[in-house]
Amino acid sequence: MEYPVTLEWTPCALGGRRAWFLCPARGCGRRVAILFGGSIFACRHCHKLAYQCQRETDDDRAMRRAETIRRRLGWEPGILNGEGGKPKGMYWRTFERLKAEHDAFVGVSLAGMAQRLGLMDRQLLGLDLDLDDLSRG
Ligand SMILES: [Zn+2]
């Protein structure tokens, strides 16, 4: 299935903007940081209702693992929201390793998402996600 997924942008308290997905499920439209895959893309709420027993796909798992790393690094949730800095007290080596893992998971996640959405936008497939370019496109 192909259908559009809308992105919405909100200003951040500290300047800049953050990206949200609007849940594409019928009658939902929740603004969420994370969409879950399967035979439809939807927010956690809708997805749970519709696909409670469905197996997690590779790119779902990649997104979940990327989010786990983001939490550990103290970064904003949502893989569209770019990267934060190194947390205080974390060794650079640890940080670099986690960041590399994060980027790899984001790559897998976005590639899978792009494939299933039919959204073959290079900006979404690239690991170096440029949010400004994304919003203009
Ligand atoms: Zn929803």
pLDDT digits (tens, 9 = 90+) for 3-42: 678 888 888 877 888 888 888 887 888 998 888 876 667 8
d(CA 80, CA 101): 16
Q: What is the pTM of this model?
A: 0.50
Neighbours of 11 (CB within 10 A): 9
Q: Where are the beta strands (DSSP E) in 75-128?
A: none
23 Cα–ligand 1 center, Å: 5
The Cα 108–Cα 91 span in angstroms is: 26
For 45-96, the pLDDT digits (tens) are 887 766 554 566 788 889 999 999 999 999 999 988 889 999 999 999 999 9
Angle in degrees, 0-180, between the axes of helices 58-73 and 92-117, rounded to the nearest 10: 150
> From the CA of 35, how far away is ligand 1's center (Å)?
8
Distance 17 CA to ligand 1 centre (A): 22
